[in-house]
Amino acid sequence: MSYRIGSGIDFHKLQEGRSLFIGGINIPHHKGAVGHSDADVLLHALCDALLGALSLGDIGVHFPDTDASFKDIDSKILLQKTMEMITREGYEIVNVDSSLCLQAPKIKPYVHQMQEVIAGILKITTKDISIKATTTEELGFVGREEGVVAQASVLLRKMR
């Protein structure tokens, strides 16, 4: 049985008046993340973790921000496309662990919804997707609510 581990990290700037998408959910907030796509920091970290596990490069290689077709794209589509690559390589996901780092808003009320969205795309159960959240206790750019960070780890198993 062959197992592969992967990790990913992503950062996005926060700006007034943008929509905030995290984990495939639109979270009501006065600030949103800035990016070429919908700037979903958690789904991007997850894509990088999946690609990293199989040494397939990173999200910037597969979905470059110079490509107009990815402008404002729903990151759930990027995760779906990444999952298709993993399946093509003959792997399935064992589990996902992730952390979000942001000062506001509180993420806990949305975690279950995020797990359901991600579980649907990755074809695993919500129990196999851990989403944790922390602040930086008001330190640094995260503490000043200038940006958001996500980190994700995945374990893949080769299918028989």
Kindly state the DSSP code that residue 139 receives in the 8-state scheme: -
Closest contact distance (angstroms) between CB of 91 and Zn ion is: 23
Whose Cβ is closer to Zn ion: residue 65's or residue 138's?
65
Whose Cβ is closer to Zn ion: residue 47's or residue 156's?
47
Whose Cβ is closer to Zn ion: residue 48's or residue 128's?
48
How big is the CA angle at 52 (ends 49 and 57), to the nearest 5 degrees? 125
Alpha helices in 6-150 (DSSP H): 41-53, 59-62, 75-88, 111-122, 140-143
Closest contact distance (angstroms) between CB of 13 and Zn ion is: 10
Closest contact distance (angstroms) between CB of 10 and Zn ion is: 4
Closest contact distance (angstroms) between CB of 44 and Zn ion is: 3
Q: Is 27 in contact with 40 (CB distance < 8 Å)?
A: no
Interactions with Zn ion, residue window 122-141 (CB under 5 A)? none
Whose Cβ is closer to Zn ion: residue 10's or residue 128's?
10
Whose Cβ is closer to Zn ion: residue 35's or residue 93's?
35
What is the DSSP pairing of strand 129-134 with strand 91-101?
A: parallel
Nearest partner of 96 among 12, 82, 77, judged by Cα: 82
Within 10 A of 49 (CB to CB), how many other CB atoms are there? 27
Establish if 10 lies at the interface with Zn ion (CB under 5 A): yes
Return d(Cα 24, Cα 120) in angstroms, integer: 11
Nearest position to Zn ion, beta carbon: 44
Interactions with Zn ion, residue window 36-95 (CB under 5 A)? 44
Closest contact distance (angstroms) between CB of 40 and Zn ion is: 7
Helix axes 75-88, 41-53, angle to 10 degrees: 10
Binding site for Zn ion (CB under 5 A): 10, 44
